[in-house]
Amino acid sequence: MEISNIHSPVPTHYPFMLGSLFAIMGKKIAYNPSTLPDPSGRYSHIVKANSQNLLFIAGQVSFDKDGNIVGKGDFRAQVEQVFLNLKFALEAGGASFDDLVKINVYTTDIEKYREFGTSVRNKYITKEPPTSTLLGISSLAHPDLLLEIEGIAVID
């Protein structure tokens, strides 16, 4: 069976093909799963590089799938939603937290991330941790957002 609502038919046996396919571009597939907020064409939530089995996950913030901010002013609630969104993105790409090789964390408050982020992160990342970068920044794309995390996974 093939997906025919795109320019070039692609076999549906790829696990990352479930949901709303965004675009196929040569050796990479950009994808926006329905479990994450609609990026309105500004970016793709995940991109799989077919030839290397790399999955690139755009920075996830504390929006729910309907685009509403979860945890306005509540750092821990935002960390929980961000990791839930990372989980959804990884699953949509046929991966899990075990497959992460790199994450970048951008936060407006490093001390609060250290206070809440580490415990939430350890709930999701239970095996070998990925390489990680933590950056303190002055603001994110929306004034109510407190952190953003992007990732790269390697899948079989």
What string of DSSP letters covers 68-98? PBSSTT-HHHHHHHHHHHHHHHHHHTT--GG
Domain coordinates in residue numbering, the chain: 2-154
Give the separation between CA 55 and CA 154, rounded to whole angstroms: 6
pLDDT value of residue 5: 30
pLDDT value of residue 74: 97
Q: How many CA atoms lie within 13 A of 156 on its CB side?
A: 2
Q: What superfamily would CATH give domain 2-154?
A: RutC-like (3.30.1330.40)
pLDDT value of residue 41: 65
pLDDT value of residue 29: 77
Mean pLDDT by 10 residues, the chain (156 residues): 30 40 59 84 73 87 96 97 97 94 95 92 90 94 97 90
Give the separation between CA 59 and CA 133, rounded to whole angstroms: 13
pLDDT value of residue 50: 65
Give the separation between CA 68 and CA 62, rounded to whole angstroms: 8
pLDDT value of residue 63: 97
pLDDT value of residue 17: 39
